[in-house]
Amino acid sequence: LAIGLPSDCSHGIHRDFYPDQVLIHGPRLYLLDLDLYTTGDPALDIGNFRGHIIEQSLRSFGRPDALSARELALSEQYSDLAGRDLGPSIDSYTTLTLARHIAISTLFSERRHLTEILMGICEDRLGKRSIVGT
């Protein structure tokens, strides 16, 4: 999974970027909780955000793809702003975030029903990645 990730990124990243870390007030966006701010691959932030969107979609709508248009828009806009295709890296970080959500789902009784679903999503994503890579 990590083979395609860049190793020489020195961009500022949030490192814990997900919807709860953003406040919107009129035309302004505010990023919160910058205690983990560091340098790294900017695709990590977008992949993490997308993983949280998928998990929230499962909790709120019972489907991992209910908010997929928003995920795609976020990835495309971010890649456009970066001036390069970050899609493969974003997908890898999204999968890693979803894998982390497997463990998180076991900690909360109201999320335990998502554990197997999240495992299946990760397995599907990893299976597609290995097929593409061969």
- Rounded Cα gap, residues 54 and 45, in angstroms: 14
Q: Which residue has the tokens 């299946």?
A: 120
Q: Look at residue 115 in the predicted model and tell me its pLDDT.
A: 97
- Rounded Cα gap, residues 96 and 111, in angstroms: 18
Q: Look at residue 15 in the predicted model and tell me its pLDDT.
A: 93
pLDDT in tens, 56-102: 999 999 999 999 999 999 999 999 988 888 899 999 999 999 999 99
- Asked whether 2 and 133 are in contact (CB, 8 A), the reply is no
Closest CA to 50 of 20, 112, 93: 93
Here the tokens at position 39 are 């340098």
Can you tell me the mean pLDDT for 47-53? 97
* pTM listed for this prediction: 0.88
- Rounded Cα gap, residues 32 and 64, in angstroms: 26
pLDDT in tens, 99-130: 999 999 999 999 999 999 999 999 999 997 55
